Structure 1
Amino acid sequence: MFKRVLLKLSGEFLAGESGFGISPDTTAQLARLITGALEGTGVELAVVIGGGNLWRGTRNGKGMDAATADYIGMLGTVMNAMALQDAMESAGQPTRVMTAIQMHAVAEPYIRRRAMRHLEKGRVVIFGGGNGAPFFTTDTTSTLRALEIGADVVLMAKNKVDGVYDSDPQKNPAAKRFDTLSHMDVVEQRLEVMDVTAITLCMDKGLPIVVFDIFQEGNLRRLFTGERVGTLIQSEAGGTP
């Protein structure tokens, strides 16, 4: 059973059917799912959320300076973090947003020891603003923050994908799912779990990753209580579907 967990969420999880922006109803449903899964487990939870529902770096900022486009994306993650915080507190879960880019009017600055203290007090900590620097994805931010706060695992939440496959299961009905993989398996087989910087850092530090479908009923709670769900990526595994 995990004591402290870093949950990586896609910004698209807040968008609803439109796939863009923030849907209050969809965000509230996600918040209730997370809050319900946490109840009574004693798990300390930190969250990193992406901003793809609002902005995707140079893909949206075509012709824009790449660093500027990335900073805009980081601001988008703060908007998502604030929306998720509001929904989780409405569901009864004390929550704090901490940002790598200081904006005192809306969130606390990220300070490692303060984040850990919030977790010890039972507050969910949502990290916004990436890691404060351009050219890094929220995957890398998830890994960095997980290591900094001493998380036991990174949970990579997916929608309608229940683990890591040898090919895209939505395009290939014969795709096979891996139960376990090593970090090196992911790199060598070029499996699209997270970006190379993030997976390499996990490998160097021995940080396990679980890829799972967060919207499959009961999955998140089962993970919080120590059950095997999805695909486990750890230092040593026999990467065979």
Structure 2
Amino acid sequence: MRQPFFGLLNGRPFPRNTLCLSAFALSLALMGGAVQAQSMAALPAVTQPVAKVGAAKPIMGWIRFCEQNPAECAVDPSEPAAIDLSAKDWQTLIRINRQVNIDIKAKTDKDHWGIDDRWDFAEDGSGDCEDYQLVKRKLLVEAGFPRRALRMTVVIDEEGAGHAVMMVRTNRGDFILDNKRNAILPWHKTGYVYIKREGDEGMAWASLGGRTSPTMTANQ
């Protein structure tokens, strides 16, 4: 998947899209999370979740990743499919999303591995969009989040290219963790077209039918 454009910030790669954040959010990013703002504890407004419209085939890179990491792809149906989002959970999501975005150096699979698409944990410190999200999910699961509520998701980005994000399903709506920005946005505020996401169980994925707006969704 094509990588976002990155610039350098304090000598480190940083997603340029972040420069469009508010002055407050940008100052947090520049300080690397050192500022513990009380307003970060405030929960986001409730929004409608995205609706699935049917089944979809998983990405081939996902299939290969699951063959090598079966525990990462196993879905426990006894886990909640959505998180009852608390202020502490929201802070954890913000912290991990921002930290992984800082820690991983953007590198396409072609430049990194010589192939078009490989899903990995960026163990050498470099990776592309799906690698960022896999690391975030791993850290969130270690922090106590249910894997079933953390869905790998395929979208079309603002440049018309395929892009991977992670959708966090909550009782307040679906929120997107992205390597293009440090802000965590409701799914319909990203400007992306939603194609498909990891399913409720097993290897099955769900089609999102090119969703762009909550006015197009229905109850699931």
Scaled by the length of structure 1, the TM-score of the pair is 0.29
Q: Which has the higher helix share?
A: 1
Higher relative contact order (CA 8 A, sep 6+): 2
> With structure 2 as the length reference, what TM-score do the two structures score?
0.31
